Structure 1
Amino acid sequence: MPLEPKTLGTALAETLPLHSALCRREAASFQRAIQSGDEVVVACTQEKRLFGELAEQTPAATSPIHFVNIRETGGWSRDARSAMPKIAALLAAARLPEPDPVATVSYASQGRLLIIGALDEAERAAALVGDSLEVAILSQGPGALGGAQERRWPVLAGRLESLAGWLGAFELRWTRDNPIDLDLCTRCNACVAACPEQAIGLDYQIDLGKCSGHRDCERACSVAGAIRFDRTPERLEGAFDLVLDLGAAPAIDWHAPPQGYFHVPGGLAHASGLQTLLRLRDMVGEFEKPKFFDYKQKLCAHSRNEVVGCNACIEVCSAHAVSSDKERQRIVVNPNLCVGCGACTTVCPTGALGYTYPRAPHQGLKLRTLLSTYAAAGGRDAALLLHSQEGGQALVEQLGRQAQLGRAHGVPAHVIPVGLFHAASTGIDLWLSAVAFGASQVLVLATGEEAPGYRAALATQMEIAQALLRGLGYAGTHFRLIEASSPAALDAALAGLRETRQQVPGQPARFAVGAEKRSTLELALDHLMDEAPALRAPAGEPLAIPLPTGAPFGAIAVNKDSCTLCLACVSACPAGALQDNANAPQLRFIEKNCVQCGLCETTCPENAISLVPRLLAAPERKQPVVLNEAKPWACIRCSKPFGTQKAIEAMLGKLAGHAMFQGEALERLKMCSDCRVIDLYSASNEMKITPL
């Protein structure tokens, strides 16, 4: 790689000696460095294992060691000589503190394996893992060869009703409705030979569509008594720790199936078949994974007063981990099913769901460090390429190798790869913050491993973010979803980025990304508005930027002719955007707080409210405004104001014809609550009781 130590050292404010064979003949330099006690960054991930072994063999090695890949990400590229600012940025980010530890989710597996599939293939798989796992087979037909003569494992048969759960906690429900009881069957084949319709296969179950009722099989099985046509169907349940599904159609048809469930439709002949069996053998014991999310119910816009508003997280989750709890007016995330994609946190408008692996403050610090170091080293037009640490990372590395061989251009000098646990785990709060920090573009790489719904959600969020910047006057395309499943496709997509220039803030922001999504969005928007080209003109009407439907910013429109100021919308609003006035009948609104969840629109009994997705780029968006007000109604007895004149008149009009509200009862509706009680008490005392 054509490295320039002087340029890198200037950007990082230190002297950097260049080692060309640090893992071989210059290993002593590495050993001296890790004895200093200072943090050490090794810009080589290929020999990470070797450096780890050297560290173990080095006396008094106390330095924390960080690894970073600068080779495939920029050093192996036709732009390599121009990539020093990017390499300096990657080195600087590698020195950041490790993310805060997160809570964990525990699993316990005793090795109870359920194999679903044709009996012959299932028994072959069982033979390969049966010495380390407790196997049971749910037979789905005999297959080409049928079951072996020797019955080595329990075989269940019947109609699969449901399969649910996760590693260590799968629950199977099936209905046993065949005349042959496999627990009693000895596989003597007498029934197979006796059946004139050949309705019995070598899975030892009767195809009732072929059977015409000769009952020869039942007579042939009189000794074992395994066949009875008058047997009542039984609903059965079983518990398992692991599931190997060899069926053509998966029993759990999710894009992100539960951990512990493996679907191999081609059986052992499939390329992943034997690899899956090896994984299963190791899945006995206790396991942990990160708890990828935090949930704050007080911020959640899912439901209020039994009315559902925002369903974004439930609709986007491909792991079926998010569900609605209508009784407690909240969503519930099952941590055992959650796979850590973070898509729910990306589409959440309020930040009620927050991503923790790592948390937003760490991600924000990393982005700001990358961009500020890149700029300090003389870099221009930085583009961040956000990719997953599995498929995305592999694709970037493959592209680097192709570039080193002269078969591709490689990652351009201005494109900085940023690894994430999952490509869908960041959203507009971090994207807009990145632009505020100086990024000209934010690119998200989709490799095909993502659920289709994730790509659609990312595209929608990018449309919203781009509309914001476009409305503020920033020219260009700042957000792109790059879909590539091969190095050639990725190379072509990245090569096209050189053709456009994006307008960015004149001064990069320095704010710290916070834990609250809305707070971070406000910081980013404030900076982008301060630097916005569209707001540099002489002051006039406040700039209102229209946004796509579903945007987490906006106003509401109130039909004053229909609104009765019942204030049901105020109690429904989860964000404090709608407020009343304790001193006057008023409906007030703070636009900054509105998340456009729609609960107010759905709750309003008069259908007087509609959503207006937009961004008001003016100080007024943070100030309360009066959307509607009315003249108060005065109590006809004490003249104290209560309610509104419009609401009371509407109530009187609706109840005037009701039998329960005639005469004095109707007049009491015109009184305040205190006077109604007094009037009722006075009326009862004035009643004359005539003795019999």
Structure 2
Amino acid sequence: MQEYIYYNKQNLDFPLSEKILVTNNMIEYKDSDFIVSNTNLFNAELVADEIDFYIRNSQDTIADKIKNIEKLYDLNESRFDNAQDMTFSQDVEKKVLLICDESWKKEFIKKIVSNEFDLFHINENILKSITGSIGNLNVVVDDEDKDITLNIDQIIWFDMKEEGKKQSGCFDPLETSIDDVLAEVRANIANYEYRKFLSYDKTICQYHERRDETCAKCVEVCPTTTIVKDDENKHLHFSQIDCHGCGGCISVCPSGALDYTPSNRESIYAMSKFFNGHIPLIIPQKMNISSLEVALKENVLPFKIEGEKFLHESTLLTILQESGSQVVFYTDFLSKGTTDSISILNQIYQAKYQKDAILVAMNKEQLVDALEKVDFIDGSKYQLNDMSLRKRENFAIRLSKIVGEYNFGEVQTGPNVHYAKVEVNESNCTLCLSCVGACNVNAIFADAKDNTLRLNPSLCTSCGYCEASCPESDCLTIKRDVIELQPMWFKENILAQDKLFACIECGKEFATTKAVEKIAKIMSPIFANDPIKEKTLYCCETCKPKIMMKSYMANPTNYNNKQGIAI
């Protein structure tokens, strides 16, 4: 497979790299396959229309343009090589449900061929529910007070309500046209393919198999039925066929349990390397830049991303530090998670560099303004040579580089992306380690060497499960929605410490002193008339039965009398 092709319809007046096949003949290469093209006129895995946008608008020298065009091709090839989005197919047959009144039904019938579909028709007022996915939709209708289930492949719903908008295989002709919807429905029957946009690590999910619901942000922001909760078992269920690939769930996932397969964390890391010495201009694929005329000052390098909602504080900081520059984000929409992430980063950069990190432009005028202001930031460049780090770990290491040994105050987080700091009232903590067991991101942990309970605040997701799991009163609390820009935020903080208690019989250390004293305080009044039982409160698990048995063997009659057993 030839890697790169450039369709030279504008007759460039300078040469391109030898790696790039340059042509103005579409016919000659119409059956060839490529990895990256500047146009969809060829069979290419990726279409990078930012290449023509760059050529048309960049103020770089000719020599730099030649190098940067090759870089844009290489960058897109990197995205293709690192992508983990697999393609699947779904059988879609001809069973189509039409939901509308009689007038719209007549208009629709005029547009189709006789027997083209197995067509069912209902009025909206008898519709009760829709479940399933395209090719396997189950529609429950009220038929004279009886529930009837229709098994449908696709639904055409005039003036579609919210329930239909969440389902794959549902189409509203009033949003486009009957002809457009029919074209899509027919194409789906011929060949329906979908991609896997999400990967999931349940081991660090803040919802998975927890007694209490501490997080379900992904479900809240999902515009479809892709992610649903099983509240009984505390499991998340994913329907990849229903996913639009917007990525909104990625940016609000606190731990990084969800990742975006077309451009996952490792892929973003690899692509960010190409921005070394450049000012990144990030543009979602949906943004039409084919006729956009704006001046790209020297060193500005545009790059299109798939999905506009998946960028979060860790991926954005990766791009910022690998480039050593501010970033321009040209988009007409900001997701909840990305909005919070930009706010967090801008607060951090204002505290350290007195400049915003991300310049958001939502129209051409704002883009022009942002491109005039954007620049490199002295001292902000940092290259981290580890692609395997999780979301919070990557962010913590990169942020610690910004903070260094200084104190820049606090950053406020939320309402959709949360950071926090666990605080412990040491006098009430028995080091039972329930909080350690509750934390699945290793923010709270124990050190057996010195019997301490420790916290790395930078890894805390503010889920609150440690607080819910703590059995002591007035012991563990959480300072929510804050990042402290000071060195100890990234280091192990000792929350509580205790000495081990030695068994009074054998000297074996078996529990913390506070734990033993707490249990003894509760049980001593109950065992007040039995000094042997009271003694066992201060013994290890081996010695407890030994001294009880020894006491019994010494005087079984007294023991039986105390137990109320008749002799």
Range class of TM-score, shorter chain: 0.7 to 0.9
Contact 2:197 2:261 in 1 (8 A): yes
Looking at structure 1, the residues matched to 234 and 65 of structure 2 have their Cα atoms a distance apart, in angstroms, of 47
Match of residue 130 from structure 2: 163
Secondary structure of the corresponding residue to residue 308 of structure 1: coil
Secondary structure of the corresponding residue to residue 272 of structure 2: helix
Secondary structure of the corresponding residue to residue 429 of structure 2: coil
Match of 1:387, as an amino acid? I
Within-5 A mapping of 1:134-173? 134-140=118-124, 159-173=126-140
Secondary structure of the corresponding residue to residue 367 of structure 1: helix
Q: How far off its partner does 1:351 sit?
A: 2.1
Contact 1:292 1:338 in 2 (8 A): yes
Looking at structure 1, the residues matched to 255 and 65 of structure 2 have their Cα atoms a distance apart, in angstroms, of 34
Secondary structure of the corresponding residue to residue 93 of structure 1: helix
Q: How far off its partner does 1:275 sit?
A: 0.8
Secondary structure of the corresponding residue to residue 284 of structure 1: helix
Looking at structure 1, the residues matched to 33 and 295 of structure 2 have their Cα atoms a distance apart, in angstroms, of 37
Query: Is 2:535 the partner of 1:646?
Result: no
Match of residue 561 from structure 1: 427
Secondary structure of the corresponding residue to residue 419 of structure 1: strand
| Aligned CA distance change for structure 1 residues 87 and 106 (closer, same or farther; 3 Å) | same
Looking at structure 2, the residues matched to 510 and 329 of structure 1 have their Cα atoms a distance apart, in angstroms, of 39
Secondary structure of the corresponding residue to residue 367 of structure 2: helix
Within-5 A mapping of 1:30-109? 39-40=19-20, 42=22, 50-51=25-26, 53-56=27-30, 66-67=37-38, 68-69=48-49, 73-77=53-57, 80=59, 85=64, 88-96=67-75, 97=77, 98-100=80-82, 102-109=85-92
Picking from 471, 487, 494, the partner of 1:626 is: 494
| Aligned CA distance change for structure 1 residues 502 and 554 (closer, same or farther; 3 Å) | farther
| Aligned CA distance change for structure 1 residues 673 and 103 (closer, same or farther; 3 Å) | same
The answer to which structure, 1 or 2, has the higher relative contact order (CA under 8 A, 6+ apart) is 1
Secondary structure of the corresponding residue to residue 416 of structure 1: strand
Picking from 269, 273, 279, the partner of 1:368 is: 273
Match of 2:510, as an amino acid? F
Looking at structure 1, the residues matched to 300 and 36 of structure 2 have their Cα atoms a distance apart, in angstroms, of 25
Looking at structure 2, the residues matched to 106 and 660 of structure 1 have their Cα atoms a distance apart, in angstroms, of 73
Secondary structure of the corresponding residue to residue 163 of structure 2: coil
Q: How far off its partner does 1:345 sit?
A: 1.9
Match of residue 194 from structure 2: 289
Secondary structure of the corresponding residue to residue 677 of structure 1: helix
Q: How far off its partner does 1:520 sit?
A: 3.8
Looking at structure 2, the residues matched to 288 and 506 of structure 1 have their Cα atoms a distance apart, in angstroms, of 47
Picking from 258, 268, 285, the partner of 1:389 is: 285
Looking at structure 2, the residues matched to 176 and 659 of structure 1 have their Cα atoms a distance apart, in angstroms, of 70
Match of 2:282, as an amino acid? L
Secondary structure of the corresponding residue to residue 111 of structure 2: helix
Secondary structure of the corresponding residue to residue 282 of structure 1: helix
Match of residue 470 from structure 2: 604
Query: Is 2:341 the partner of 1:461?
Result: yes
Query: Is 2:556 the partner of 1:676?
Result: no
Match of residue 258 from structure 1: 167
Looking at structure 2, the residues matched to 290 and 108 of structure 1 have their Cα atoms a distance apart, in angstroms, of 14
Identity of aligned residues (%): 18
Looking at structure 2, the residues matched to 173 and 318 of structure 1 have their Cα atoms a distance apart, in angstroms, of 22
Looking at structure 1, the residues matched to 324 and 366 of structure 2 have their Cα atoms a distance apart, in angstroms, of 18
Q: How far off its partner does 1:244 sit?
A: 1.0
Match of 1:677, as an amino acid? P
Return the structure number with greater strand share.
2
The one-character-per-residue Cα deviations of 1:229-284 (angstroms, maximum 9, x if unpaired) are: xxxx32221211101111x4515165xx33211134x4xxx642321122112221
- Over the aligned positions, Cα root-mean-square deviation in angstroms equals 3.9
Within-5 A mapping of 1:262-661? 262-264=171-173, 266=174, 271-303=176-208, 305-326=210-231, 329-369=234-274, 371-372=275-276, 375=277, 382=279, 384-390=280-286, 392=287, 394=288, 396-400=289-293, 409=294, 415-448=300-333, 455-471=335-351, 473-483=352-362, 490-497=363-370, 500=373, 504-506=377-379, 508-511=381-384, 514-518=387-391, 519-522=393-396, 524-525=398-399, 529=401, 532=402, 535=404, 543=407, 545-550=409-414, 555-583=421-449, 585-605=451-471, 606-612=473-479, 613-615=482-484, 617-618=486-487, 623-655=491-523
Match of 1:244, as an amino acid? I
Contact 1:346 1:427 in 2 (8 A): yes
Secondary structure of the corresponding residue to residue 444 of structure 1: strand
Secondary structure of the corresponding residue to residue 181 of structure 2: helix
Match of 1:549, as an amino acid? T
Within-5 A mapping of 1:197-236? 233-236=145-148
| Aligned CA distance change for structure 1 residues 468 and 332 (closer, same or farther; 3 Å) | farther
Larger radius of gyration: 1
Q: How far off its partner does 1:691 sit?
A: 8.6
Instruction: Give the paired residue count.
Output: 535
Q: TM-score, normalised by structure 1?
A: 0.68
Match of 1:496, as an amino acid? D
Match of 1:608, as an amino acid? C
| Aligned CA distance change for structure 1 residues 506 and 654 (closer, same or farther; 3 Å) | same
Match of 1:55, as an amino acid? Y
Secondary structure of the corresponding residue to residue 673 of structure 1: coil
| Aligned CA distance change for structure 1 residues 107 and 420 (closer, same or farther; 3 Å) | same
Of 571-580 and 127-136, more deviation after overlay is shown by 127-136
Contact 2:451 2:497 in 1 (8 A): yes
Match of 1:389, as an amino acid? Q
| Aligned CA distance change for structure 1 residues 119 and 636 (closer, same or farther; 3 Å) | farther
Secondary structure of the corresponding residue to residue 109 of structure 1: coil
Query: Is 2:115 the partner of 1:131?
Result: yes
- Runs of 5+ consecutive residues of structure 1 not aligned to the other structure: 1-18, 141-157, 178-232, 401-408, 449-453, 484-489
The one-character-per-residue Cα deviations of 1:576-595 (angstroms, maximum 9, x if unpaired) are: 22222335542122345433
Q: How far off its partner does 1:357 sit?
A: 0.6
Secondary structure of the corresponding residue to residue 460 of structure 1: helix
Looking at structure 2, the residues matched to 438 and 561 of structure 1 have their Cα atoms a distance apart, in angstroms, of 48
| Aligned CA distance change for structure 1 residues 259 and 103 (closer, same or farther; 3 Å) | same
- Runs of 5+ consecutive residues of structure 2 not aligned to the other structure: 1-5, 39-47
